[in-house]
A and B are shown apart, each in its own frame.
Chain A
Amino acid sequence: MQKNIMIVGVGGQGTLLASRILGNLLTSRGYDVKVSEVHGMSQRGGSVVTYVKYGDKIYSPIIDKGEADIILAFERLEALRALPYLKKGGTLIVNDRATLPMPVITGAATYPEGIIDELAKHADLRALDALAIAEEVGNAKAVNVVLIGVLAASTDIPKEEWVETIRATVPPKFLAINLAAFERGYTL
């Protein structure tokens, strides 16, 4: 057995917390786990990609095109950029929000229209406005845990284990907001 989860977004969106929660949870379940991240220059507002792989035995730390069972996208355009990595019939969870890249801001390129429709053609799609939910819960930064909630609901891992891992992973100061954000995502 092997499952591949890809987390994509824009540098600074909190994708690393999402991969840490996943890594901790899957390790505690006794799987072989590999989590691969990008550090350094691309973190500065560029596209960021994290790979989380688990199963009986994992070799490569990266996910290649056509290999992701689930893609968790923190931004619409990044979801579309990651689409080739999705396995046929794979699940794509997308925060239906646009963060404009610099070439679009400067007018050198245009932000594509109709991304959600395009994604729906190829994926088992769950699109939501995670930022609106996070802001309702009380902190825009909780977008990552809202999305983790949606992801959790699409797996067969018991909810209590997710909650337990979030408790063990996030700082106590932000725990209440993160648990509320998870709950909203999970029950969406």
Chain B
Amino acid sequence: MKKLLLGNAAVARGAYEAGVGVVSSYPGTPSTEITEEMAKYEGMHVEWAPNEKVAAEVAIGASIRGARAMSCMKHVGLNVMADPIFTVSYIGATGGLVFCVADDPGMHSSQNEQDSRHYAKAAKIPMLEPSDSAECKEFTKAAFRLSEEYDTPVFIRLSTRVSHSQSLVELADPEEVTLKPYEKNIPKHVMMPAMAKGRHVVVEARTEKLRALAETDAFNKVENNGSRVGVITSGVAYQYAKEALGDTVNYLKLGMVYPLPEKLILDFAKDLDTLWCIEELDPIFEEHIRALGVTVKGKEHFTLLGEYSQNMIREVVAGEKTPFVTSEKELPGRPPVMCAGCPHRGTFYVLKKLGVTVSGDIGCYTLGAVAPLGAVDTTICMGASVSAAHGMSRAGGEETNRKLVSVIGDSTFIHSGITGLIDIVYNKGNNTVIILDNSITGMTGHQDNPTTGKTIRGEATKQVNLVDLCHAVGVDRVRVEDPFDLKGFEKAVKEELAADEPSVIIAQRPCALLKTVKYSGHCVVDADACRGCKMCMKLGCPAIMFRDGKAVIDHTQCNGCGLCTSVCAFGAIRKEEK
């Protein structure tokens, strides 16, 4: 049976058909749906881990104990899990061990545009790259087999367009996979220098065996269309190239992007007049091809930035421009905004009003940097809001510290904010950290986490108590506040900034998109009472507009959260029940 599946869902299907036993991941666009889809299957353990490093280690442990195991992450999540990855390359895999990483060329939902293929080479781990959903499923199954056959972890590399496009997939029944017996094997599983030296030899030999495999047509396919022009490509770039150039050129489609098949590349290139390398992000194939002494055209004609497309390839390679119409009107952009009813709006309104420096983090609340709130000063990576604020305080001294807060979501705090908080306490800092506790992992589309009290399968579990946790690491000043109580919240921030010890404010209000959140009615502006002062506009609510000198509320967007009623000094906004 053929089914239209998201690339991510097809990876999950592949892992299911391969009999995966344990899957542990941390959410991150564009990888999140792999693990969400995985949890729709029965018969294996699936979990959200607190962060990617933990997730990878869970998968590694499961593999050592003999189960097929997988961990999925976005590209920046791979940085977090890099430590165990480089070493498990030496340990290898008992049960098939697959790490599925999704890159985000074009940065649809990311803070950088890194190319994960570098990790394959650096950690000496083979990497497969599917180009559509059917390959997502097949390559995932193959990755488990390859992992066991070659005693190696295997990467699957996806990109946003492969992860988030649906195409047809032929479904099959799951394989019967049994747990392998546990064997104590100190030289292979205990990576201390004496053992690791021995294992490094094995890793280098393994890479050469894998390169020999890459020379065959197991993953790398040549399409000879009798042309004197050839294209070496992989992943979604292959699909763009096929759409742009059809059968007018020859293709070497790389399904295994590390290690690269050197003989195959030389053989493919030898009868060509022109060889193109078409790869998004970094010139990894291109540099390798050039190092083989082959002349190749690539990045100097394309770009290191963002995504490729069929038009771009058609223009560069075939010199054909696709005509299109343009409007001369100037179009305002439409950047993402915090939703109507978002609990973070109250927090940022207060922080902006107080004029404090805000050390920000990764999540929906990064949108607190967008006009008109413009409250966030820095965003680096998961957890950095807390530790970077400590650094700012240590550099700038007391004057900086009295006007500086960190903001971090509940899930992000558990991910890697808690370690920064321990650093502050241990090293005698006195920063103020605001945990934006909206009861869910928001930006990636509502995943449960250790603070929500539910597992990925929706089962009740122990819930991390953030107040107790902060107390336990040595923060004595911990208070829970409602960010929609603007006056109370402002008072809390002022008091904690004035305190001579570290403090945590837990800004607690659930995400407005949660089904359990029931705001009712909507807000309306009394045009006679409105003085046009624009105070309500400072909230940056997408439902509030300004027309003919008065505020107007769009009832199709307003969800009746009522925050705006408390900022109007003239009582011009009131809530109307349905």
Contact = CB atoms under 8 A, between A and B. Distances in A.
A102 B339 CA distance: 11
Interface in B303-336: 309-311, 322-327, 329-336
Contacts of A168: none
A104 B167 CA distance: 37
A61 B167 contact: yes
Interface stretch (A36-44, A150-158, A170-178, A179-187): A36-44
Contacts of B132: 34, 61
Contact of A32 (B168, B336, B370, B544): B168
A44 B329 contact: no
Contact of A106 (B243, B324, B537): B537
Given A41-B336, A81-B331, A84-B326, A27 B161 contact: no
A140 B330 CA distance: 30
Nearest to A61: B165
Nearest to A42: B336
Interface residues of A, number: 61
Contacts of A32: 167-168
Nearest to B238: A59
A45 to B, nearest CB: 4
B326 A105 contact: no
Contacts of A118: 327, 329
A115 B544 CA distance: 22
Interface string B131-165: 01000000000000000000000000000011011
A154 to B, nearest CB: 20
Contacts of B372: 102, 106
A45 B545 CA distance: 15
Interface-central residue, A59, A60, A111, by most chain B CB under 10 Å: A60
A12 B164 CA distance: 17
A33 B3 CA distance: 10
A62 B336 CA distance: 21
A102 B166 contact: no
A46 B370 CA distance: 12
A35 B242 CA distance: 17
Given A27-B168, A34-B167, A122-B325, A105 B336 contact: no
Contacts of B554: 99-100
A146 interface: no
A38 B243 contact: no
A35 B335 contact: no
B338 interface: yes
Interface string A107-129: 11111101100100010000000
A86 B327 CA distance: 12
Interface residues of B, number: 61
Interface-central residue, A77, A81, A86, A105, by most chain B CB under 10 Å: A105
Given A12-B339, A102-B370, A112 B109 contact: no
B239 A60 contact: yes
Interface string B336-360: 1111000000000000000000000
Given A99-B557, A131-B556, A112 B108 contact: no
Contacts of B445: 39-40, 43
B449 to A, nearest CB: 17
A96 interface: no
B164 A27 contact: no
B30 A33 contact: no
Given A105-B546, A106-B372, A39 B324 contact: no
Contacts of A59: 239-240, 242-243, 310
Given A39-B109, A41-B109, A112 B324 contact: no
A39 B239 contact: no
B190 interface: no
Interface string B228-245: 000000001001101110
B434 interface: no
Contacts of A105: 537, 540, 542, 544-546
A58 interface: yes
B546 A107 contact: yes
Interface string B426-440: 000000000000000
B443 A36 contact: no
A66 B339 contact: no
Contacts of A36: 161, 164-166
Interface string B87-123: 0000000000000000000001100000000000000
A64 B166 contact: no
A64 B310 contact: yes
Contacts of B332: 77, 101, 103-104, 108-112
B339 A34 contact: no
A115 B337 CA distance: 24
A69 interface: no
Interface in B348-389: 364, 366-367, 370-372
Interface of A: 10-12, 23-24, 27, 32-47, 51, 58-62, 64-67, 77-78, 80-81, 83-86, 88, 99-112, 114-115, 118, 122, 131, 140
30 contacts: A34-B167, A35-B167, A40-B443, A44-B336, A45-B542, A46-B336, A47-B334, A60-B243, A60-B244, A62-B240, A62-B309, A62-B310, A64-B309, A66-B322, A78-B334, A83-B325, A85-B324, A99-B554, A100-B554, A101-B335, A102-B540, A103-B335, A103-B371, A105-B542, A105-B545, A106-B372, A106-B537, A106-B540, A111-B332, A112-B330
Given A27-B4, A40-B108, 6 more contacts: A41-B366, A59-B240, A67-B310, A102-B335, A102-B542, A105-B540
7 A-B pairs closest in CB distance? A40-B109, A40-B29, A61-B165, A66-B324, A109-B332, A46-B336, A101-B334
